[in-house]
Structure 1
Amino acid sequence: MKLHLSHYFSALIITISLVTVTAFSKSADAATTVLTDEPLQTDANTRNYLPTGANALYSKVPGQSGAKVLAKATDLKTLATTADQGQTYFRGYRVAQTNDGNFYLKVVSFNKTYRGWIYVGTTNPADDSTQVSNGLKSVQTFKEGTLDPNVANTTYYFSTPKSSTLTVTQPDWTQYKVGRNLSATTSYVNDSLNVTKVGTKQNNRDNNATYYYVQDAANPQVNGWIKASELTTVKQTYNY
């Protein structure tokens, strides 16, 4: 009986070992392989995204050796609703395809706090970078509108000219690495300004604030976008 049991347990151990080896082999065979890793060539304005909270952000394409979670999916979901901060929006700049038919985008937050890879579905965004799903959704950060003729024909001035009142190439946190135009407007506080364009922030950023593009005939270096609430039609005299 003891001999019989000994043979039984030996056979059982061998069987378990074989199962373990087989499972390990399948796991190794199933490792994710990156087939392509290329820069996105599409227009930069079509590569702005908000995280959906469906997928995490990784240091490498998931499945690769050393890939680590940089931001959990739940944290990204919370991040997506942050009012008006630089880490809110992401810019995509590389796309990778894996052997299982999946695509991943490498993204960076506008303030460069977050940078990594995230799953975006089974459609190649290299052809159309707005066609993403799962971890990201394509968004418009700023939308230009139709300028009211009355606004276009009115002369404006800076309402509170100070170091924090700026004209910008693009409204703050609406494009990656594009923003401030002037360090301050205090040198041009008495200049007349004409409004030539209007636009609004999107996705409830800063309550979808309205911006005007102003032009300064006397000092063209002032030209740029500024929040409409920082302009006035009343000329005041400031001495700085």
Structure 2
Amino acid sequence: MKTITSKLILGLGLTLAIGAFTLTPTDTEAKSTMTVTSNQALVADGNSRNYLTTGAAPLYSKVPVYKSTKVVTKAAVLKTLGTTADAGQTYFRGYRAAQTSNGDWYLKVVSFDKTYRGWIFAGTTDPTTNPSDVSGGLKATTTFQESTVPTYFANTTMYFTTPKASTLTYVAPDYTQYKVGRNLNATADFYKDPLTVTKVGTKQNNRDGNATYYYVTDAAHPQVNGWVKQSDVTTSR
């Protein structure tokens, strides 16, 4: 009788164990049941698709519903990138959005310097209508903020500092927009030209120490017109 009872208890335990395993799918099994229901390009203005990474989610090679998906950048690395003090290389631009069958949204993003690229969880709100409304692994950000031009510049002529090849003008200050950069490769040939400051702005999020930039115009050589770092111009010729 004792042997039969033991066998019954053992059999019941195995049945419960198997039942518990069957009712609780593993993460891999759960992923395999999800699908991508939408995958489309983001077409909103680029200024609304600039992001900092929060470190709350990793970067994936694919939308993570596929068994072949891999983590290409860990969340901890992305958290560090979000607070780095570089010139802006580690900002991210979103360019595709995908929704999974459980309602999650993922954005495909690339860092401004193209070092990091992949899919990242961006919350449960549709980013195709408002790319700034994201959460999860991303937060929308302003990379450059223009401000009122001080009246001082109305009667002030500026010049490029001592000619050097590294002094550039930009369509947008370097690393404040994805794939929008230098306007002029060097200003050494124009350092004696008088310049007029028509716009002023600063980098954000401690990128490049929140450096100030001036938009300068050159009446003699309009090809020079563009943004230049404050430290690359002077009132002395």
- Aligned equivalents of 1:174, 1:27: Cα separation in 2: 39
- Aligned equivalents of 2:46, 2:27: Cα separation in 1: 41
Q: How many residues align?
A: 235
Q: CA RMSD in A?
A: 2.3
- Aligned equivalents of 1:56, 1:134: Cα separation in 2: 10
Residues 1:78 and 2:110 aligned together: no
- The CA deviation at 1:86 is 4.8
How many percent identity over aligned positions? 57
- Aligned equivalents of 2:84, 2:27: Cα separation in 1: 42
Secondary structure of 2:177 counterpart: coil
Residues 1:107 and 2:109 aligned together: yes
Task: Give 2:145's aligned residue.
Answer: 143
Q: Mean Cα displacement is larger for which, 17-26 or 163-172?
A: 17-26
State TM-score, norm by structure 1: 0.88
Secondary structure of 1:226 counterpart: strand
- The CA deviation at 1:231 is 0.8
Equivalent residue in structure 1 for 2:53, among 51, 54, 77: 51
Task: Give 1:216's aligned residue.
Answer: 218
Secondary structure of 2:197 counterpart: strand
**Structure 2 unaligned residues grouped into runs of 5+:** none
- The CA deviation at 1:70 is 1.1
Task: Give 1:176's aligned residue.
Answer: 178
Secondary structure of 1:155 counterpart: coil
Amino acid across the alignment from 2:44 = T
Task: Give 2:166's aligned residue.
Answer: 164
Per-residue CA deviations over 1:21-53 (Å, capped at 9, x if unaligned) read 555599746622110000011111010000011
- The CA deviation at 1:11 is 7.2
Measured at CA, do residues 163 and 114 of structure 1 come closer, stay the same or move farther in structure 2, by a change above 3 Å? Answer: same
- The CA deviation at 1:154 is 1.1
Verify the 8 A CA contact 1:105 1:118 in the aligned structure 2: yes
- The CA deviation at 1:182 is 1.3
- Aligned equivalents of 2:190, 2:128: Cα separation in 1: 44
- Aligned equivalents of 1:71, 1:29: Cα separation in 2: 22
- Aligned equivalents of 2:54, 2:65: Cα separation in 1: 21
State TM-score, norm by structure 2: 0.90
**Structure 1 unaligned residues grouped into runs of 5+:** 236-240
Measured at CA, do residues 32 and 152 of structure 1 come closer, stay the same or move farther in structure 2, by a change above 3 Å? Answer: farther
Q: Mean Cα displacement is larger for which, 196-205 or 61-70?
A: 61-70
